[in-house]
Amino acid sequence: MPSFRSLSAAVLGLVAVSSPLVQAQTYTNCNPTEKTDCPNDAALNQASITTDFTSESNDWTATAGTINYGSNGAEFTIGKKGEAPTIKSNFYILFGSVEVEMKAAPGTGIISSVVMESDDLDEVDWEFLGGNNTVTETNYFGKGDTTTYDRAIYYPVSDPQDNWHTYTVDWTSDAIKWSIDGTVVRTLSYSDAKGGSRFPQTPMNVRIGNWAGGDPSNPEGTIEWAGGETDYSKAPFTMYVKSVKIQNYTPADAYKFTDTSGSWQSIQPLNGTAADTAKSTSNNNNGNSASSGGNSNSNSGSGSGNSTSTSTSPSSSTSSSSSSSSSSSSGGSNSTSTSGSGSGNGTSTSSNSSGTAMPTNAAAGTVVSQTLFSVVLAFAVFCALNL
């Protein structure tokens, strides 16, 4: 399945690659596994935060399109070609849970997405195909690895376009669990993600949006995965998000990558002075933001604090996952498209529920779950990335 990240490229109007399948289009301006001067990530400095989207929130920033707010919550509406309304949280978390109450958008080729994304291209996804009102797709990526597309698993949902459902990702250093209305449908253990090397484990922010995977200008594989070409004459296509609750198992003012390993043990929660916080916030605002799917992080200098806090294992969950086999297809590397294509052929693995691996051209994602971490004093706030 194409991922939410693909939308970044779409909104930027980049040209899609010629590959028949669209790769996970993760986007980052500064990958901490490749550079040592990436800015710190502004963190959620409290245990939890709940957003009522019947009105606009300062904790989120629109990175593409226009989002309206009403009695049904935030409205992500595609009314014509090229629209891909998206918001992004103004903070990162390091292990925690993300709970979204929503209705998916209808429409062939329309993709409603909830994605967690890190600077080094760890990702966890929920995605909904507008042409299929019976399932949702779960997916994940580790370090932007698109050498295989065998992670997407589909699960049945009762009328996700017309009924309110709550979708939760619980993310710890041990496992990631996807739940629908309180029932766990999938569990990915650390060891099941290539021995942990592809297990999402670095600070992530949350992106929510609606985009047209079926736009006629997208690669054939993306359109096929999305369920067919989008007919804009049938617009508008609206996704509704009523509320989002986010728990951070490692509250801090910022997170610092202390080396290029991309492991959770290398992440240092920071708590510092107001000057340190301002520096980190400024750094995080200077990057090129890309809409819903892409990691758009700043490429300016590091804004580290004076903290000496250390990381201890935030793991408390010990879930295991049984592997559900599936067919996988080839995919490319970061491709982009004018309408937000995503990542190539997604199939399935690691499930302890009755999920179905659909042999469609799809893929993308990363993950969210639960854990405990250790942290110190106070560091401060951050600002959102803008396109």
Quickly count: other Cβ atoms within 10 Å of residue 17's Cβ: 18
Within-domain flag for 350 = no
Within-domain flag for 102 = yes
Residues with active-site annotation: 123, 127
Question: In this structure, what token pair is assigned to residue 4?
Answer: 């939410």
Within-domain flag for 192 = yes
Domain with 190, as residue range(s), is 4-285
Within-domain flag for 258 = yes
Residue 185's H or E segment, with its range, is strand 183-189
Q: What is the DSSP string of 245-313?
A: EEEESS--SEEEE-SSS--GGGEEEE---HHHHHHHHHHHHSS----TTS-----S-----S-------
Within-domain flag for 358 = no
Give the integer Cα–Cα distance in Å for 218 and 18: 10
Count of structural domains, the chain:
1
pLDDT given at position 150: 86
DSSP code for 194 = G
Question: In this structure, what token pair is assigned to residue 29?
Answer: 């301006």
Q: Which residue has the tokens 């200008």?
A: 217
- Enumerate residues 6+ apart whose C-beta is below 8 A from 57: 51
Taking 50 as the pLDDT cut, the residues of the chain under it are 1-26, 273-354, 356-387
Within-domain flag for 226 = yes
**Apex 60 CA angle, 32 and 255, nearest 5:** 30
Give the integer Cα–Cα distance in Å for 13 and 82: 9
Q: Which residue has the tokens 């659909």?
A: 358
pLDDT given at position 272: 55
Q: Which residue has the tokens 């245990």?
A: 47
Within-domain flag for 137 = yes
Within-domain flag for 164 = yes
Quickly count: other Cβ atoms within 10 Å of residue 232's Cβ: 20
Q: Phi and psi of 276, rounded to 5°?
A: -65, -45
From the list 320, 319, 364, 322, the residue with the least C-alpha distance to 341 is 364
pTM over 0.85: no
pLDDT given at position 149: 78
pLDDT given at position 355: 59
Which residue(s) pair with 231 in the sheet?
none
Query: Could you tell me the CATH number of the domain that includes residue 39?
Result: 2.60.120.200
